[in-house]
Amino acid sequence: MTSGAPSTTVLSENDISRALTRIAHEILERNKGGADLVLLGIPTRGAPLARRLGERILAAEGRPDAPLEDLVGTLDITMHRDDLRRNPTRALEPTRIPSGGLDEKVVVLVDDVLYSGRTIRAALDAISDLGRPRAVQLAVLVDRGHRELPIRADYIGKNLPTSRSERVSVRLTELDGTDSVVLSS
Amino acid sequence: MTTYLIRAASVLGGERSDLYLADGVIAALGADAADAATTARADGVDVVEIDASTLIALPGLVDLHTHLREPGREDAETVASGTRAAAVGGFTCVHAMANTDPVADTAGVVEQVWRLGEDAGWAQVRPVGAVTVGLRGEQLAELGAMADSAAAVRVFSDDGKCVDDPVLMRRALEYVKAFDGVVAQHAQEPRLTQGALMHEGVVSAELGLTGWPAVAEEAIVARDVLLAEHVGSRVHICHLSTAGSVDIVRWAKARGIDVTAEVTPHHLILTDEAVRGYDPQFKVNPPLRTAADVAAVRAGLADGTIDIVATDHAPHPDEDKDCEFAAAAMGMTGLETALSVVVAAMVDNPEYDFDWADVARTMSTTPAAIGRVAEQGRPLEVGEPANLVLVDPDATWTVDPAALRTASENTPFASDELPARVIATFWRGRATVLDGEPRARTDVRA
Amino acid sequence: MRHLLSAADLSRAEAIEILDTTATMAATQSREIKKLPALRGLTVVNLFFEDSTRTRISFEAAAKRLSADVINFSAKGSSVSKGESLKDTALTLAAMGADAVVIRHQASGAPHRLATSGWVRTPVVNAGDGMHQHPTQALLDAFTMRRHLAGGGEAGPDGIGRDLAGAKVVIVGDVLHSRVARSNVDLLHTLGADVTLVAPPTLLPVGVHTWPCAVSYDLNATIADVRPDAIMMLRVQRERMSSAGGGFFPSPMEYSRRYGLDGTRLAALPEHCVVMHPGPMNRGLEISAKAADSPRSTIVEQVANGVAVRMAVLYLLLAGGTETEGSR
């Protein structure tokens, strides 16, 4: 982020927490419980978000001590990106699928920001190599618009109208030491 | 016939003097030179005046070790192209090695090479005769016939291959005494160097290239000086490259053995570190050695243990170098860079007390003496043959392989900046090079 | 990283990045669908001037699992002075639109020439050159060692992010002619392992004292003194004992007695020590069947890891755009 550029905090720590709690309940409501759910976080920041959602879902279902690993995994989509060769080589992040696999599960993809939709397209490709879920849904913390593909989110923390020149930065305690979403130009 | 009045040249780097070249000899020196030129002009003789007030005059350089490739590999070099390169490098005489195709192992071939040299007119060509038939190391070639031929061969060598059979070497050393010849040995124990690609040591171990151990040279040098002592012959060691060889030759000379030795310019300045990039331009036989060896051959040249510098000019076409290291030919060109490299390694090097008179000694006088070339390597005195070179010691130049006059581009000094430049070369009184440019016989007004 | 020519060119960080990427690749290879689309549309040429079905198949599998197209060019016997030169072969491949060249060549330095001569502009991967280097072999060996010696805890079974600091590795056999030994010494040293080479003096290169490792002529003493965490047996060619082959040792029997990994030496190794061999093995010469087939042998695992390592290398060399250097 360029320092000195005008920037606005659009989500605070509390806002993020509330949004995730709401999404967790929406997921449970829509899927009538957490039985067949698998949450797959897309690295980098989708992964901790998925864990937080998983914790909330387990808590809401009254089984906070159940192993989170059976509900939450990570899905690295780097090798499925269509812009792989336009950018410098990216380090691969691990893909970890809960031991129950994906077949006949309801997979909820979790990412921080929904923008062009290309990441989600790559994620859908990656999922199809791993199994055949009953359904795939999408949860994002921020939807900033400007879609380039016919993709929409099922669960949205905040709709944030932006211009293409603006930049949305999501910071999470696990990686950045603080929770916030900042819009800068 | 054009005559030349050379003004104020520093003779052997010492006092300045005028020199007047006419009728193939140094006709006058000092104050007499200008007078002689004036008289000649009055008689209608063409006198070209050369300002040499920033130049050094040396006797024309003599190379005891040149590969002219003709006959057989005219794609790499011809006698004409090689001697033209020699002239540009300041040489007035080259010894053409015998490993041609056919091998120079008969009077016919050596006379052909000698004749090609005379016809080309760039420098005196002294063919080297093969020691053994076909360089095969099995039986002596007709050394006497080559000695008695028009080429008057005095240096015999299987260069490229070692005369490794000790009995055959002994016979050769003995036999050439009959006509005051000398055997120039390519010292390389063949079994110790099978498949060898570079100096065996730290760098070869890392690069995984088969090593050429120093001992393979030293063992032969030691054997041959002892053989020469035993039969009372002189022996010459080609392209000596290791510290151990320097020690052995030093020991042999102290003992009174009639041994002479040469070092190449590249062994005076390059080390096996240059091979790290696998660039075949640094593939040469004997291989580039270590920094300690370079220091030893420099010291040996400075103290006279090593008698001469010889180029081992070895031209190869691009296709023999533009390939993987193992497949590449061995050798590098050297005629046009030799003087500059010696200046860089020795004259300009404060570690050694090596002056221009030493350059004349090691690159002209002594090589001519070893090769028994009466008319070369003479002092710059009145009545002596007009074989000389004018050098600008302060010039620097950048080596452009394509611009060199040799027909091949395999110099290891590409893009290097070197000191000292040959400005003019005179052979038998005729300028073969003027203003640094070669001048064919047809360029000269008769 | 523009090319992979020598294990010595890799920094610790680069080496760990390759090993970590290998772990990710390896994980994908247990899936039902092993193929990944990362290199779709790219062409990898396997340029093999020397027979090596194993290495070629490993690279081929790696490239194909990343969805690259693979052209195999076997040029055995057509190299060096006869037939087409390396240069012309390279120019031909470049003209055909190769995006990466994997080269195996009997001449040390041939991959280096290919990468630096301007004949091709693509990344070059050294799949073994003469007696020089075989970097992907060293990487798969290091990956295998890391899994066994540094795996566990937070770093997971593959030891993600870790090096091999303090690991004691003994490499036994024909070091002189071995590109595997050279590559392993370089890479293991970079990763912090302590390497000891064990060989008869005839099979060690002059100059080995400058390598970043210890050297011994005595295998029994080394096993007792070093207490290795991993022991790697190198292939020894029987023909090297003859005079024509260089006369490096008196007989296979004597070699085996002094330097072979037999049952007694296997029993003398620490419990956790893994037994490695780059293959193909000479059972009964440098390694006994008992040692090769023992549970601590990683020889088959090494082959499997070879595909993952080569996937990682191809991915890291090819997946990024043009500005891959230093800008990850």
Domain ranges of chain B: 3-57+383-443, 60-370
Minimum mean pLDDT among A5-14, B113-122, B354-363: which range? A5-14
Please tell me whether residue C72 adopts helix, strand or coil conformation.
strand
Measured between beta carbons, the chain A residues lying within 8 angstroms of C3 are none
Give φ, ψ of A88 to 5 degrees: -60, 155
Residue A172 lies in a domain: no
DSSP string, B73-103: -TTT--HHHHHHHHHHTTEEEEEEPS-SSS-
| Residue tagged 């599998």 (tokens) | C61
Tell me which of B202, B204, B206, B210 to substitute to probe the interface with C (most C C-beta atoms closer than 10 Å): B206
Pairing between strand B61-66 and A180-184? unpaired
Residue A1 lies in a domain: no
Residue in C with minimal Cα distance to B214:
C206
pLDDT tens string A22-55: 999 999 999 998 889 999 999 999 999 999 999 9
Residue in C with minimal Cα distance to A90:
C328
Measured between beta carbons, the chain B residues lying within 8 angstroms of C179 are 208
What is the distance between the alpha carbons of residues C17 and C22, in angstroms, rounded to a whole number? Answer: 8
The closest CB to that of A85, out of C20, C35, C321, belongs to C321
Which uninterrupted H or E stretch holds A133? none
Per the structure, how many domains does chain A have? 1
Could B208 and C116 be called an inter-chain contact, meaning their C-beta atoms sit closer than 8 Å? no
Could C131 and B327 be called an inter-chain contact, meaning their C-beta atoms sit closer than 8 Å? no
CATH number, domain at A58? Answer: 3.40.50.2020
Query: How high is the pLDDT of residue C324?
Result: 38
Residue A107 · residue A136 · CB < 8 Å: yes
Could A130 and C31 be called an inter-chain contact, meaning their C-beta atoms sit closer than 8 Å? yes
What is the distance between the alpha carbons of residues C245 and C239, in angstroms, rounded to a whole number? Answer: 6
Touch between chain C and chain A: 3 or more Cβ pairs under 8 Å: yes
Query: How high is the pLDDT of residue C84?
Result: 67
pLDDT tens string B68-98: 999 999 999 999 999 999 999 999 999 999 9
**B31: number of Cβ within 10 Å:** 10
Could A90 and C320 be called an inter-chain contact, meaning their C-beta atoms sit closer than 8 Å? yes
CATH 3.20.20.140 given to domain C135-303: no
Comparing B441 with B23, the larger pLDDT belongs to: B23
Query: Chains with 3 or more CB pairs closer than 8 angstroms to C?
Result: A, B
Query: How high is the pLDDT of residue C83?
Result: 53
- Chains A and C: how many Cβ contacts under 8 Å? 61
pLDDT surpassing 70 at residue A5: no
pLDDT surpassing 90 at residue B240: yes
Could C33 and A130 be called an inter-chain contact, meaning their C-beta atoms sit closer than 8 Å? yes
The closest CB to that of B201, out of C116, C117, C207, belongs to C207
- Residues flagged as binding site of C: 54-55, 82, 104, 134, 137, 179, 235, 279-280
Give φ, ψ of B160 to 5 degrees: 100, -30
pLDDT tens string A135-181: 999 999 999 999 999 999 999 999 999 999 999 999 999 999 999 99
Could you report the predicted ipTM of this complex, rounded to two decimals? Answer: 0.90
Express as a percent the part of chain B with pLDDT over 90.
98
| Structure letter (DSSP) for residue C283 | B
Residue A84 lies in a domain: yes
B400 is catalytic: no
Domains C7-133+304-318 and C135-303 alike in fold: yes
Q: Is B2 exposed, middle or buried (0-12, 13-18, 19+ CB in 10 A)?
A: middle
pLDDT tens string A125-148: 999 989 999 999 999 999 999 999
The closest CB to that of B327, out of C81, C129, C179, belongs to C81
Question: From the CA of A94, how many Å to the nearest CA of chain C?
Answer: 6
Q: Which of B92, B109, B102, B97 is nearest to B68 (CA)?
A: B97
Residue A178 lies in a domain: no
Query: How high is the pLDDT of residue C74?
Result: 83
Grade residue A3 by pLDDT with cuts at 50, 70 and 90: low
List residues in chain C touching B: CB distance below 8 A: 8, 79-81, 85-87, 105-110, 112-113, 116-117, 129-133, 179, 182, 205-208, 210-211
What is the distance between the alpha carbons of residues C96 and C92, in angstroms, rounded to a whole number? Answer: 6
Residue B9 · residue B55 · CB < 8 Å: yes
Residue A49 lies in a domain: yes
Measured between beta carbons, the chain B residues lying within 8 angstroms of C205 are 204-205, 211
Q: State mean pLDDT over B171-197.
A: 97
Measured between beta carbons, the chain B residues lying within 8 angstroms of C113 are 278, 323-325
Q: Which CATH number fits domain B60-370: 3.20.20.140, 1.20.1340.10, 1.10.240.10, 3.40.1190.20?
A: 3.20.20.140
Residue A43 lies in a domain: yes
- In DSSP terms, which residues pair with B367 in a beta bridge? none
pLDDT tens string A92-124: 888 899 999 999 999 999 999 999 999 999 999
Q: Which of C270, C254, C265 is nearest to C288 (CA)?
A: C265
pLDDT by 10s per residue, chain C, length 328: 899 999 999 999 999 999 999 999 998 888 878 889 999 999 999 999 888 889 999 999 999 999 999 999 887 655 444 556 888 888 888 888 899 999 999 999 999 999 998 888 999 999 999 999 999 999 999 999 999 999 888 888 889 999 999 999 999 999 999 999 999 999 999 999 999 999 999 999 999 999 999 999 999 999 999 999 999 999 998 777 777 777 899 989 999 999 999 999 999 999 999 999 998 999 999 999 999 999 999 999 999 999 999 999 999 999 876 443 333 2
Domain boundaries along the sequence of chain C: 7-133+304-318, 135-303
Measured between beta carbons, the chain C residues lying within 8 angstroms of B200 are 206-207
Touch between chain B and chain A: 3 or more Cβ pairs under 8 Å: no
Task: Write b or e for each residue in C24-35: b if 16 or more Cβ atoms lie within 10 A of its Cβ, otherwise e.
Answer: bbbbbbeeeeee
Residue in C with minimal Cα distance to B322:
C87
pLDDT surpassing 80 at residue B419: yes
Could B213 and C206 be called an inter-chain contact, meaning their C-beta atoms sit closer than 8 Å? yes
pTM for the whole structure: 0.90
Question: From the CA of A109, how many Å to the nearest CA of chain C?
Answer: 19
The closest CB to that of B207, out of C85, C108, C116, belongs to C108
Could B209 and C131 be called an inter-chain contact, meaning their C-beta atoms sit closer than 8 Å? yes
Grade residue A91 by pLDDT with cuts at 50, 70 and 90: confident
Q: Which of C129, C56, C52 is nearest to C86 (CA)?
A: C129
Q: Which fold has domain C7-133+304-318?
A: Rossmann fold (3.40.50)
Question: From the CA of C327, how many Å to the nearest CA of chain A?
Answer: 7
- Give the strands of the sheet with C124-129, arranged side by side: C69-74, C43-48, C100-105, C124-129
What is the distance between the alpha carbons of residues C40 and C65, in angstroms, rounded to a whole number? Answer: 10
**And the tokens for B384?**
């002596």
Residues B63, B158, B307, B312: which is the catalytic one? B312
What is the CA B353 to chain-centroid distance, rounded?
22
Which uninterrupted H or E stretch holds B330? none
CATH 2.30.40.10 given to domain B3-57+383-443: yes
